[in-house]
Structure 1
Amino acid sequence: MYVSVVLLHLDKNVLLAEPLRAHHIKRRPAGHWGTVPGTAWALAHTALATGEAAPDRTLVPVLGAGHAGVVQLAFAWLSGELASVRPQYSRDAAGLARLAHDFPEVDGLGSEVHPLLTAGTAPGGCLGGALAFGHGLALDAPDRVVLPIIGDGECETPTTAASWLAARALPASAVVPIVHVNGFRMGDRSLLGAMTDGEVAGYAAGLGWQSRVVHVSAASREEHESFRQALLESVGQAVDGVRAAVFLRCVKGWSGPERIGERPVLGTPGAHKTPLGLAHEDGRQRELLGKWLASYRPAELFDTDGRPTGELAGALETAGRRPAAPLSQPTAIQPVSRRARGGDDFGHAVSQVLRNHAVAGGFRLFSPDELASNRLGALQDEPWVSEVLAEEVLLGWLCGWLAGGRRGVLVSYEAFAPLLTSGVVGHLKHRRLTAGAPAPSLNLLLTSYGWHNVYTHGDPSLATALLATCDPVVRVLTPADPARAALVLDEALGSTGRVNVVVAGKHATTRQPDETIEQELARGLAVWPHLSDQGEPELTILVAGDLPAEATTAAVPVIRAQLGCRIRVVGVLDLTVLGDPQIWPRGLSAAETATYLGENAAVLVATLGHPAAVWGLLAGRLGRPVEVIGWREPPGPMPQAALAGELGLDPAGLLQAACKLTASRKVAC
């Protein structure tokens, strides 16, 4: 807690070796104090309990609140872990002074929870995912006990609230949530904090969890021992398959200033961020800051060189002799050999791929109670399948599962996938910061899309949003038939370091010839000879997805007969090939663009998703007439054939677009 206060407020004099002066203090302190006391308490006890609570297991803390980054940094500096990744922050006075001066812009680490440091395994930014992530990380992992450290405000988020109950849908896994109940979220009293101990215990029990409530207000030895016993007993229960949680009650901002002038701070939202933000210029606040820092008795914690001493040194040595909480390091991925998978039935082709990966081991499928609807009902009773009706919880499970080096997939309706946007973007941000070998890819299989569903079930926004990030690990995969869907899903499941979004319809019946499948898999697209004319095309149709393939197959003879132009049809399996090659690894070079699209042909793109996603990828680079037909919000419910006609994804609509394009091309020529 002392080091956290130093990082938040000081530039110099980090050991309080002299009276606090204005030039020792940051002019504009930034960061979050309110979560520090309980988080520091939980992290310290977790470090000390490892090796004692469950001798054959490692305790793995997982921080839920990104704002706890300051205490994570303080913890990592004290243990010496920080110096191992950033040597300039040595575990001495000079290292602490540099760290305090740099905070919150800490050399590539920033001020939020970071994956390079202990307890930073879960993606941050989207509050509420740590409990679900912890369950995924602990699932089928007998070597660890996962301890998500979550706030009482977090317990109000839909993801956390659902995660308590959703644990029933998983095999027993050793997870011990430590709920930091400080009474307040950012701006008001928390719902959980307003409950009595009995109500908290009743709430947990109703969801199937045994709970222990521990109060901390003085950091006495009795309080330390009480929490230690609660933690050890809960870990023991979790190892035995009992769902157990610890609720840590401490006042928000505990050990900090009680009030500033007439304004109360302790136990109020005023303790959420840096409470003494004007200490540099305000003498009264400076005096309060000096007393606050002195209350931790830094001379008893550190020697004159800033190295831990006394009981602190002993505790750090004890923790250091025990197994450290592992960071997210992927285990070896067993490859699944790709075999040709024929058949026109989506359910059979995709189920066979999933079964093959399950047989190889280290694989799980997560689904929101829609496997039967998605033609994968034959998999429902498999032990490697988990279903619960909460997409955000499933994503947390999947991310935790992947963090343990295993492979998996989340299968859902395309319309509900936008619920995952913040979580997947957070996953992308998290992966950019993670060092070491690439982790298994995050895979989403989206079916039951709006073209074949009711009015309320049409929304391809997730793919659009992920393409807009311009993150090169994203792939949006649009197979034209079930055989291609099975093969591209197989490849995605065996890949590493990517986010693969496979958009494949359960209703697909039209099958394209197999002769170009290997090229589509290898390069992301291929010319379809069975629909294309010989020679240089005047019109090139890019087909992304099964319904566009079906509509284009029917439209090409009509367009050819009516317009008399040479047509080339290109199957696009990976939408990112249409992007700038300086951003997207599979983006077409200028020479490849001419090879696949023709030198001067007008281009018609038929896509399952938003035209905006394609326009964003093309970014005006083609320099020729282009038209994109895809999903737009319909005015209201209508039959499927009418919807296709309304949006132009039928032979008549494609012919109309082709007429417009060829006319524009002639004018341009």
Structure 2
Amino acid sequence: MTDKKLLSEHEVDLYNKWWHAANYLSIGQIYLMDNPLLREPLKLEHTKPRLLGHWGTTPGLNFIYLHLNRIIRERDNDILFIAGPGHGAPGVVASTYLEGTYTELFPEITQDEVGMQKLFKQFSFPGGIPSHTGAPTPGSIHEGGELGYSLSHAYGAIFDNPDLTVACVIGDGEAETGPLATSWHSNKFVNPKTDGAVLPILHLNGYKIANPTILARISHQELINLIKGYGYDPIFVEDNDPDSMHQKMASAMNTAFNRIHRIQQNARKNNDTGRPLWPAIIFKSPKGWTCPKTIDGEKVEDYWRAHQIPFGDLSNPKHLKLLEQWMKSYHPDALFDEKGAIFPEIAELAPKGDKRMSANPNGNGGLLRRPLKLPDYRQYAVKMTKHGHVIAESTRIMGEFLRDVIRNNPEKFLLLSPDENNSNRLNKVFEVTDRVWNAEIYDFDDHLAHKGQVMEILSEHTVEGWLEGYLLTGRHGLFSCYEAFIHIVDSMVNQFAKWLDEASKVEWRRPISSLNILLTSHVWRQDHNGFSHQDPGFIDHVVSKKPKMSRIYLPPDANTLLLVTSHCLKSSDRINVIVAGKQPEPQWLTMDEAIKHCYKGLGIWEWASNDKGTEPDVIVACAGDVPTLEALAATKILNEYVPDLKIRFINVVDLMTLMTDDQHPHGLSNQEFDALFTINKPVIFAYHGFPRLIHSLIYKRSNARNFHVHGFREEGTTTTPFDMVVLNNLDRYHLVSNIMNRVDRYKSKIAYIDQFVRDKLVEHELYIRQYGEDMPEIKNWRWK
């Protein structure tokens, strides 16, 4: 495998100098706030009072980064660098500083002693930069603070991006996580003709915070079998001697990129898109490589003690002296000139311009983002003349719209799902595309092909990671999922929200397409799956994110869903969650009505209200398709039993409108809110999710005390659709009872209304237990 003397002695000397410079800058970021070049004896006041950061993985990252730069210089490749061990930020920042990109984007961090001092002080320091490779890190699309997502992000970046290679460094601790273990299989979805390539680099340095890593403690052959079993051809680089390691890494990089080139050329010239065996590098180096081997008589280098701060008590004069000796072991005077700039001969090892990994436009995807060519959503409208008389599957209608989004945007839009595209009624897209699949395909398979814009794998983590990588490199997409199981990616969405927030504060970061999530097969229509599939809590999770990026939409029918979908696909820097059922359901609004209704995100449905020109007795409000149906059915019962009861019917599409305008950009002013919901009338609110969320959104409103919310009460089972709402008191009969009990002037009728409700609920239970389906008056109910 090795090409002996691939690098000359002079080149090895230069490579060591770059590596030493990167290591020196990395340690300086962790420990120092002054005296950056150690031009005077190191004193305690030169060091940081709080030592935060991770050294253990950093020298290995610096080594890999250097050798990728050689490939770029010699081959003119476009390479993006992903550091799975996000804790290695000191190294990634150091490399971007050596390349000059850091100074270009942050001019105050100059290429001299003054700039170096600022570089050191800002790391993990108040008012500075975080300890992970976050949005402020040039060239980064991966934060890495939570481990497991680097490889899925890498693959998301190269889909439909044929000229890009992503070098993805995977920490051996990270490799133990479930999301990372699944994401190895992303290679079964790569088309070498139309996609780029991912080069996984497993950084095998042996230890986590206080334990060994699994992959470092299995046999060499077992590790080979594992990586080959995932579908990769491993190339090993291991040696403790840096000079030898430079030669071996240079050879490994050549081998890997030669293989990638051959695979892509074979696909692109010979039209061979069969699944190849992609290369992967296994890089074994000591934990904390080049730090002191022992401290206070205890093993540090090549052990878990090097994982974070090799030694932290700098008030101990011996430790302070040891730090100075460690940093001087890199011979900074041979690396940086009198002013503190890296010597030109060393700096020349970096590529130029946009070829630098820290300046690659894919690392700032908003630079590459172009708007989608969206069809006019109005042309897919459900035609209707009477409210609630047309029955349709809203997401099936949405599928027609998405079909033409895909048709119009063949290389910049993905529809992703964990094996649920058909189940979610989005089948129409297969009129213009196939499912991407580069494993074995049988003649009888359904829409599997090497090229397509639908991607499905039964791993919510991987789907989410793919989409994030795709968005962060300038493209667009939508992720559809069963509502109950979107929770699997709670923490991933949390991390993405934090990324968006941090990116918005970085001047040179450009907006990216929004993370669009469709939740269907929702809590109220899990007819055959039951309690395990009944959970609407993801809404609560997203609402807790910062208002500038969180959006929740609950369209009650197909026409509002079309409008909301089009709006979300146009947006940027948002997390848009759309909740819409897939089952046949009544359609309420014409397209013209839907447009007017969605303009403010909520509004009065005049055709379902009877309070115009007078004061309402009660507000019946709703958010969500099933709650809307039940709220309308309750309203109709009251129209019949107490026709003089004045009802104002309000539907909410954009949940964030319930917040005040100083809490959320979509929030209503208090004046607007009071005009709709009054300041003293009872509000019976039928809501899709957990009732407490509505209370938390409207707590500042003057009429908050009069809101009475019906929603999911954590009651569920395998049962009929109507019985699900009955179990949770969201049904029309419970709503009727609550409404009548809140209007004082009807207290004399409460007994009879309550009796009616009890009788109906008993009748319902007897019927479903005998026939296994809902009563005809429930199934066939229509608004009249």
Per-residue deviation, 1:639: 4.1
SS in 2 for 1:150: strand
Task: Provide the residue aligned with 1:250 in structure 2.
Answer: 285
Task: Provide the residue aligned with 1:526 in structure 2.
Answer: 603
Per-residue deviation, 1:123: 4.0
Q: Is the 8 A contact 2:557 2:589 kept in 1?
A: no
Matched, 1:29 2:51: yes
Q: Is the 8 A contact 2:123 2:129 kept in 1?
A: no
Task: Provide the residue aligned with 2:246 in structure 1.
Answer: 224
Q: Deviations over 1:268-297 (max 9, x none)?
A: 221111112012x11221222122112111
Q: Which amino acid aligns with 1:614?
A: I
Q: Is the 8 A contact 1:473 1:498 kept in 2?
A: yes
Per-residue deviation, 1:636: 5.4
Matched, 1:190 2:271: no
Q: Which amino acid aligns with 1:422?
A: S
Per-residue deviation, 1:169: 3.1
Q: Is the 8 A contact 1:543 1:605 kept in 2?
A: yes
SS in 2 for 1:15: coil
Per-residue deviation, 1:518: 0.5
Per-residue deviation, 1:358: 0.5
> Could you tell me how far apart the structure 2 residues matched to 1:277 and 1:634 are?
52
Q: Is the 8 A contact 2:54 2:307 kept in 1?
A: yes
Matched, 1:46 2:68: yes
Q: How does 1:448-463 map to 2 (within 5 A)?
A: 448-453=521-526, 454-463=530-539
Moved more, 120-129 or 158-167: 120-129
Task: Provide the residue aligned with 1:6 in structure 2.
Answer: 28
Q: Which amino acid aligns with 1:613?
A: L
Q: Deviations over 1:296-321 (max 9, x none)?
A: 111111112111126423324x5569
Moved more, 501-510 or 345-354: 345-354
> Could you tell me how far apart the structure 1 residues matched to 2:479 and 2:641 are?
44
Per-residue deviation, 1:81: 2.1
SS in 1 for 2:683: strand
Describe the shift of the 1:339–1:20 C-alpha distance in structure 2 as closer, same or farther (beyond 3 A): closer
Per-residue deviation, 1:403: 1.3
Moved more, 157-166 or 557-566: 557-566
Moved more, 419-428 or 42-51: 42-51
> Could you tell me how far apart the structure 1 residues matched to 2:395 and 2:541 are?
28
Task: Provide the residue aligned with 2:776 in structure 1.
Answer: none
Matched, 1:295 2:329: yes
Q: How does 1:134-533 map to 2 (within 5 A)?
A: 134-172=154-192, 173=195, 174-220=197-243, 222-239=244-261, 240-241=263-264, 242=276, 243-279=278-314, 281-309=315-343, 311-316=345-350, 318=351, 322-323=355-356, 324-326=359-361, 327-330=363-366, 331-340=369-378, 341-343=380-382, 344-361=392-409, 362-379=412-429, 381-382=434-435, 383-434=452-503, 435=507, 436-453=509-526, 454-514=530-590, 515-533=592-610
Q: How does 1:628-667 map to 2 (within 5 A)?
A: 628-634=709-715, 638-663=719-744
Match of 2:621 among 524, 542, 545: 542
Q: Deviations over 1:195-254 (max 9, x none)?
A: 33332222111111111111142321x321321221233233334244221111111111
Describe the shift of the 1:348–1:640 C-alpha distance in structure 2 as closer, same or farther (beyond 3 A): closer
Per-residue deviation, 1:632: 1.8
SS in 1 for 2:283: strand
> Could you tell me how far apart the structure 2 residues matched to 1:664 and 1:272 are?
71
Per-residue deviation, 1:86: 2.6
SS in 1 for 2:198: coil
Q: Deviations over 1:618-644 (max 9, x none)?
A: 124232511111112116555433321
Moved more, 527-536 or 456-465: 527-536
Per-residue deviation, 1:84: 2.5
Q: Which amino acid aligns with 1:449?
A: H
Give the TM-score of the pair, scaled to structure 1: 0.94
Unpaired stretches in structure 2, ≥5 consecutive residues: 1-22, 265-275, 383-391, 436-451, 748-784
Match of 1:118 among 115, 138, 158: 138
> Could you tell me how far apart the structure 1 residues matched to 2:317 and 2:626 are?
70
Moved more, 611-620 or 203-212: 611-620
> Could you tell me how far apart the structure 2 residues matched to 1:223 and 1:305 are?
31
Match of 1:594 among 674, 680, 701: 674
Whichever of the two has the greater Rg, that structure is: 2
Identity of aligned residues (%): 29
Task: Tell me the C-alpha RMSD between the 2 structures.
Answer: 2.2
SS in 2 for 1:542: strand
Q: Is the 8 A contact 2:400 2:429 kept in 1?
A: no
Q: How does 1:531-610 map to 2 (within 5 A)?
A: 531-533=608-610, 534-535=612-613, 536-562=615-641, 564-610=644-690
Q: Is the 8 A contact 2:237 2:283 kept in 1?
A: yes
Q: Which amino acid aligns with 1:359?
A: R
> Could you tell me how far apart the structure 1 residues matched to 2:55 and 2:282 are?
20
Q: Which amino acid aligns with 2:221?
A: G
User: Between Structure 1 and Structure 2, how many residues are aligned?
Assistant: 661
Q: Is the 8 A contact 1:464 1:612 kept in 2?
A: no
Q: Is the 8 A contact 1:538 1:565 kept in 2?
A: yes
Per-residue deviation, 1:367: 0.7
Give the TM-score of the pair, scaled to structure 2: 0.81
> Could you tell me how far apart the structure 2 residues matched to 1:411 and 1:75 are?
38
Describe the shift of the 1:304–1:663 C-alpha distance in structure 2 as closer, same or farther (beyond 3 A): farther
Moved more, 441-450 or 303-312: 303-312
Q: Which amino acid aligns with 1:512?
A: W
Per-residue deviation, 1:94: 1.2
SS in 2 for 1:392: helix
Q: Deviations over 1:573-604 (max 9, x none)?
A: 11011112112111111221133324543212
Q: Is the 8 A contact 2:375 2:405 kept in 1?
A: no
Describe the shift of the 1:354–1:122 C-alpha distance in structure 2 as closer, same or farther (beyond 3 A): same
> Could you tell me how far apart the structure 2 residues matched to 1:644 and 1:197 are?
57
Describe the shift of the 1:663–1:125 C-alpha distance in structure 2 as closer, same or farther (beyond 3 A): farther
Describe the shift of the 1:14–1:216 C-alpha distance in structure 2 as closer, same or farther (beyond 3 A): farther
> Could you tell me how far apart the structure 1 residues matched to 2:51 and 2:164 are?
38
Unpaired stretches in structure 1, ≥5 consecutive residues: none
